[in-house]
Amino acid sequence: MAPLPLPLPPPSEKRPPRSLFELPSDFFDSSVLLRAHPSTAPSAVEPSEPSRPPPTQQQHQQLSEAAGSRWTCNTCASEFESLQEQREHFKSDLHRLNVKLSMAGKTIIKEEDLDKADSDSLFDDLEISSVSGSEDEQENGPASERVLSVKGKEEFRKKLYFRCASGEMISIYRCMLLKEHEEPLIDCKSGQMENASCVQEEEMINRVKCLACEPRDTSHLRIVLLTSGGHFAGCVFDGNSIIAHKTFHRYVVRAKAGKRQSGKDATGKVAHSAGSSLRRYNEAALKKEVQELIVSWKSYFETCVCAFIYAPSRNRQMLFDGEKTQSVIQSCDVRPVPLTVHRPTMKEAKRVYCNLTQLYYEMECSTTDETLPDAGSVKNVEQGQGKKNEVTADPGESISDLSARLELLNKNEAATIPSSKNETTPLHEAAKCGNAQLTLELLEQGLDPCVKDARGKTSYSLASDKEVRNTFRRFMALNLDKWDWHAADVPSALTKEMEESQAAKQADKDAKRKARAKELKKLKKEREKEEKEKEKEKAKAQASQSQSDVKGTSSGQMANRTATAPGLVPKHQTPQQILIAKEEERQRKQAEEREKRAAAAERRLAALAVQSAGTSASGAAATNCSAKRAAPDDNSCSCCFGSLVGKVPFHRYNYKYCSTTCMHLHSEMLQDD
């Protein structure tokens, strides 16, 4: 016999999570394991709004008289007989599912196909989370009282949900209680019982009770190992305290490359740079360090309850590629981390462990019959209205009829679609995806563009495509009084005349830009042509000047060659020979200039030396010089008549000098004579 459902607590704010190791020992007494249906709606839990009173028969008659006889849904390709039936369709699972299918670019499904197919397999095949609860919830009787509304199918699979004695619903990550191959018996299907080991509800309650009563004597340790991108972080926890920890970091991934060096080498393109060699060495060193650490923690692995490991892709080789490390790690229960892990650091390892060991207080939606739609009353209303003859009409008439009915309905305040101020509508999704056609269809169906999502943004604010924004503006131009466009953040209407004017301005602007680009291209070609002509003229002038210089410097040599060899004709010189001749002429002139400057300096020094000598001595020296100038000695200086014995003399013509000073003085004396 199923246990009686416990009373639900009044809706309140969500309580902060608590650590599992700080709970009282009797916290899980009288707790009940809950089951969530895989196709529950991933909607936020909020207090239900009071329902509006249904429209009266007189209002129904006014609506039917003021509108046409054809109501359609462009997304589902369906037709309806009344506005009420169309509105019920807009709230149905089929319509919302088809909206998601059309936004994903997939084929919509019909109502009969939805009834025949299994809901769970349908959602798994389409890779789309369910949009609402199934119809079986209303027919399962007492079992439906334990069906929860959680944050989605994937989120449910990560946690286990309990109803505690106080009536509150709590959740725990299932990796804290179950091994990787275990499943709760309450969630096991008939085909899964053979493949997975199912755990009874009593066993689950006993495990969670033992979890809250664990002794803190290092006999119930838990290890967290995180490794990715050259980073490694390992921690050993005993409850909420850290027993041991270690982190490593090595440069193994090239900046902006996104892959380790071993992964790149596996593709066949082996790099031989210094950086690649360093990354290979660091990868091997990091692997060695991690494996040595795991072996040193062997005592911790033998006494730990489980080890939470995050090692994506090839990083698992770092932990399991080795007999010693593999035997050490597999000595305990290895479980994956069901959380998003950032860069492995000490802080990240503590965050992951803290989140895994938290007890979360969940909020749920009431699934009683009062909140479910009364299908019988809807059917009675549809049967009472009866069928009407279908009248073929063009799309323009259907849109106008829809607008008229919506306006009349707003005036009578009898709208049955609840308008939440903080919810994401299909119009938000279509605008965000940039689907202009679907956005127009949803606007034509009557979706409110003034509705804001949880972040306070309208569908127009989420539109990143210009065509989608123009769709809102065009619809505003055709329906100015339908919505509060200022509240919808639509800046202005876009009429056909405005679009034509903008197109003409854009065409004029494009034509001017092309003409300007063409003119700039022409000017650039002319400028390049002028520069080439100037370069050619400059080269010709340089060549002619070099030829004239060569002719002037070699005229004497050519005359001598002609005199000695009259039959010899000079050959034409190449540009390279001309350049060589110019370089030689420049060097010769520089040498002559250096000699002149040196001679001037020596003359100044000699003049200073002469001035320092006495007047009488200078006269005697001059007399002696003039007397001996006629017959100088071979071993004496021709200027000062000093002895040249043991010296290397300087020669000038037939004279010998002891120094360059004497040589220049003697030359000046000869010039004066």
Residues marked as catalytic: 261
Helix axes 83-90, 57-66, angle to 10 degrees: 100
3-state helix/strand/coil string of 614-645: CHHHHHHHHHHHHHHCCCCCCCECCCCCCECC
Q: Is 360 helix (H, G, I), strand (E, B) or coil?
A: strand
Place of tokens 């009353």: 377
Please name which of 621, 599, 602 lies closest in space to residue 661, comparing C-alpha atoms: 602
**409 is written with which tokens?**
């309905």
User: What does the alpha-carbon distance between residue 185 and residue 197 come to, in Å, rounded to a whole number?
Assistant: 9
Distance of CA 147 to CAs 134, 156, 365, 566, Å? 11, 12, 10, 124
Taken in order 170, 173, 177, 181, the sign of the CA dihedral is positive
Q: Are 155 and 339 in contact (CB under 8 A)?
A: no
Query: How many other CB atoms sit within 10 Å of the CB of residue 366?
Result: 14
User: What does the alpha-carbon distance between residue 331 and residue 573 come to, in Å, rounded to a whole number?
Assistant: 93
Please name which of 309, 318, 304 lies closest in space to residue 336, comparing C-alpha atoms: 309
- The gap from C-alpha 542 to its chain's centroid, in whole angstroms, comes to 59
User: What does the alpha-carbon distance between residue 18 and residue 212 come to, in Å, rounded to a whole number?
Assistant: 12
Burial per residue of 261-287, b for 16 or more beta-carbon CB atoms within 10 angstroms, e otherwise: beebeeeeeeeeeeeeeebbebbeebb
Q: Are 57 and 185 in contact (CB under 8 A)?
A: no
Query: How many other CB atoms sit within 10 Å of the CB of residue 545?
Result: 12
Burial per residue of 448-484, b for 16 or more beta-carbon CB atoms within 10 angstroms, e otherwise: bbbbbbeeeebbbbbbeeeebbebbbbbbbebeebbe
